[in-house]
Amino acid sequence: MLVSNSPQFLRRFSSFNLLSTTMASSSSSSLLLPSVSLNHHQLKTSSSVCFGTLKHGFRRINLDKSRVSMSLSAGSTTAIDDALFTDYKPTTAFLFPGQGAQAVGMGQEALKVPAAAELYNKANEILGFDIVDVCINGPKEKLDSTVLSQPAIYVTSLAAVEILRARDGGQQIIDSVDVTCGLSLGEYTALAFAGAFSFEDGLKLVKLRGQAMQEAADAAKGAMVSIIGLDSDKVQQLCDAANEEVEEAEKVQIANFLCTGNYAVSGGVKGIEAVEAKAKSFKARMTVRLAVAGAFHTRFMNPALSQLESALSATEIKTPRIPVISNVDAQPHADPETIKKILARQVTSPVQWETTVKTLLSRGLVKSYELGPGKVIAGIVKRMDKTSPIENISA
């Protein structure tokens, strides 16, 4: 499926928005990490929902001794090299959507699967409102808000994992996943799936993220526009030309490197207007103003940083059991403290999705799955490589 360039699709799609117990022995350098469940602090096997590759118990990750330093003293911690996953070789990937993928009616299929329905019940308790009602009944204007759409997509995407698990052969597919990533907000979903933090903690972070981004957008009015039909160099030249005509506070930048021919520009309203006015002279096919609250993934989101940093600092984050590719630098990170810093930076940094997908494909990715509402990511992958198999698991 190719990404549509219709204005209706682009407005909807580009509303993206654009984080251990150590068991060692002298005879082994392996690290045992617990699989994820709704109660992340329980290390015993459980029948509760988990997003790990094993439904019960532990999964062993073999770590190179040169990359892991272990102290055998009581109360010791394990220092893990952040470059642990640098040489990853992907075969099966889970890809999670970001803001803009939401649609009224999503979640109906998930309610038919007990484990998925339980996620919504748990989410209702954490959020303090009925997220299922918002997902299924909307209205659209309510679901599209930054504050509500982010937790709604997070929960629905992880519910899609449970839908897949309930299928014949679904657990085997989940067991085979060796890399994951998500578009902007979807990075939090990917980290939850990979066991970096619990479902509950991830949802709390996503809720706060949406609120902080909305507050930042209210504090400094900005806008976003999709530029269709130009490569990234030409879009940068377009931004440079627009910035020559506006004050510093109104300047723009590329905020989402989505795929060749489709990039989102973010910045002050006057800067965005200058981009729109000059786009045809740069031979852009079209521009589409996006229905978003502000200039996401730019310095305009700086006011959101302190809240995010504080929340991330207080959250238990562990080394993911599989590589999770960052939106900020298109690299996997293993060190929990680095992951926290990367997640905070993400709201003010351009999304490197194009590089992420290209890297997965160039490293030998065999098949990928898009889990959650919409089919945006499948369209991007097909646009970059028509032969690459990808399946959508919607909820």
- Based on the fold, state whether residues 325 and 254 are members of the same structural domain: no
Question: Which of 297, 326, 333, 368 is labelled catalytic?
Answer: 297
pLDDT tens digits along 141-174: 999 999 999 999 999 999 999 999 999 999 999 9
Percentage above 70 pLDDT, the chain: 80
Which residue did the predictor score with more confidence, 376 or 64?
376
Find the CATH number of the domain harbouring 249: 3.30.70.250
- Based on the fold, state whether residues 116 and 128 are members of the same structural domain: yes
Q: And the tokens for 89? A: 């070789």
Q: Is 297 among the residues known to form the active site? A: yes
Q: Is 333 among the residues known to form the active site? A: no
- Based on the fold, state whether residues 105 and 186 are members of the same structural domain: yes
Determine the pLDDT at residue 94: 98
Apex CA 79: angle with CA 78 and CA 84, to 5°?
115
> Is 68 inside a domain boundary?
no
**Residue-range definition of the domain harbouring residue 301:** 83-219+297-394
Quick check: 39 pLDDT over 70? no
Alpha-helical segments (H) within the chain = 7-13, 114-127, 131-137, 140-143, 146-166, 170-176, 186-193, 199-219, 232-243, 269-278, 305-313, 336-346, 353-362, 376-384
Determine the pLDDT at residue 292: 83
| Residue keyed to tokens 């504080």 | 310
Quick check: 189 pLDDT over 80? yes
pLDDT tens digits along 349-382: 999 999 999 999 999 999 999 999 999 899 999 9
Closest CA to 377 of 202, 142, 181: 181
Closest CA to 2 of 376, 276, 337: 376
pLDDT band at 50 (very low <50, low <70, confident <90, very high): low
Which residue did the predictor score with more confidence, 39 or 79?
79
Averaged over 11-30, what is the pLDDT? 36
> Is 24 inside a domain boundary?
no
Averaged over 185-192, what is the pLDDT? 98
Q: And the tokens for 158? A: 């992880």
Amino acid at 231: D
Domain count, the chain: 2
Quick check: 223 pLDDT over 90? yes
Averaged over 287-293, what is the pLDDT? 87
- Based on the fold, state whether residues 241 and 213 are members of the same structural domain: no
Average pLDDT, the chain: 84
Residue that terminates a domain, selected from 233, 264, 290? 290
Which residue did the predictor score with more confidence, 342 or 77?
342
> Is 229 inside a domain boundary?
yes
Averaged over 216-243, what is the pLDDT? 96
Residue that terminates a domain, selected from 270, 290, 310? 290
Which residue did the predictor score with more confidence, 38 or 346?
346
Determine the pLDDT at residue 307: 96
> Is 50 inside a domain boundary?
no
- Based on the fold, state whether residues 309 and 204 are members of the same structural domain: yes
For 194, half-sphere exposure in the C-beta direction (CA atoms, 13 angstrom radius) is 35
pLDDT band at 392 (very low <50, low <70, confident <90, very high): very high
> Is 33 inside a domain boundary?
no
Quick check: 76 pLDDT over 50? no
Determine the pLDDT at residue 52: 59
Residue that terminates a domain, selected from 260, 290, 320? 290
Determine the pLDDT at residue 2: 38
CB atoms closer than 10 angstroms to residue 176: 12
- Based on the fold, state whether residues 108 and 144 are members of the same structural domain: yes
Closest CA to 285 of 352, 231, 245, 233: 231
Averaged over 292-308, what is the pLDDT? 94
> Is 142 inside a domain boundary?
yes
Quick check: 15 pLDDT over 80? no
- Based on the fold, state whether residues 135 and 267 are members of the same structural domain: no
- Based on the fold, state whether residues 271 and 301 are members of the same structural domain: no
**Cα of 2 vs its chain's centroid, Å:** 21
Find the CATH number of the domain harbouring 170: 3.40.366.10
- Based on the fold, state whether residues 196 and 215 are members of the same structural domain: yes
> Is 199 inside a domain boundary?
yes
- Based on the fold, state whether residues 92 and 186 are members of the same structural domain: yes
Question: Which of 14, 35, 37, 184 is labelled catalytic?
Answer: 184
- Based on the fold, state whether residues 244 and 364 are members of the same structural domain: no
Apex CA 21: angle with CA 20 and CA 23, to 5°?
125
- Based on the fold, state whether residues 191 and 92 are members of the same structural domain: yes
Grouping H, G, I as helix, E, B as strand and the rest as coil, residue 368 is strand
Whether this model's pTM surpasses 0.75: yes
> Is 74 inside a domain boundary?
no
